[in-house]
Amino acid sequence: MTVTSPPNPTALITGASRGLGAAIARELAPTHHLLLGARSADALAPILAELPAATGWPVALTDYPAVAAAAQSIERLDVLVHNAGVADLGTVAGSSVDQWRTTIEVNLIAVAELTRILLPALRAANGHVVLINSGAGLRANAGWSSYAASKFGLRALADALRLEEPTLRVTSIFPGRIDTDMQREIVAGEGREYRPEEFLTAETVAGAVRAAVDTPRDGHPTEIILRPR
């Protein structure tokens, strides 16, 4: 008698073309079939060359009809990692309406809508939603108002989803500042010298995602907070 091994679980990672998203993809690749999201197929080319078993999922997350169309073929989803986001920083006095709208649209509304669209697939797998939040989702600092507001909202979304969907696990991860290209842009805007040793590595945060996903089913990792040492 031939015994067929069950297929690997499926994980969709948004913002997977570089930085933390790519690190999460590398971390989950040995055990999961990966759907890797980014705004364009060209952006995904390097990580797909590195992880040829993965499948590209190129779509702009704020183009909601396109997201719905791209999600139609996903019937079962074991892990959804919300990693895509923007950090357009500014003071309350110096921030425009467009800045607020874009930040909240990308960091919160698009996350809520993608989750809603994929709920049937997540329910079918008793799946796991992992939201990459931020230390700014726990405290708001000067100059970070719109970003912190979007991340406070993301925490509220996770808390509500956890209560509304009891068959799912929902984990918010709150990393401190991470050594990524985005961080380099932030530090440049702050007018400081970039010192990578001040920040978490993307691999460390990806390891926290792995730890959450690998937690046995009798445990529900609701929040993970990481700070640079």
- The model's pLDDT over 71-96, given as tens digits with 9 standing for 90+, comes to 999 999 999 999 999 999 999 999 99
Q: Are 58 and 38 in contact (CB under 8 A)?
A: yes
| Contacts of 112 by beta carbon, 8 Å cutoff, 6+ apart | 157
At residue 187 the predicted structure's pLDDT band, cuts being 50, 70 and 90, is confident
- How many Cα neighbours within 13 Å face the side chain of 156? 9
Model pTM above 0.75: yes
Q: Which two tokens stand for residue 170?
A: 């929902």
- Give mean pLDDT, residues 62-74: 97
CB-based contact 78:118 (threshold 8 Å): no
Q: Top-level CATH class of 10-226?
A: alpha beta
Beta-carbon count within 10 A of 206 CB: 24
3-class state of residue 218 by DSSP:
coil
Q: Mark whether 64 is an active-site residue.
A: no
Catalytic hit among 100, 144, 147, 174: 147
Q: Measure the CA–CA gap between 1 and 89, rounded to whole angstroms.
A: 61
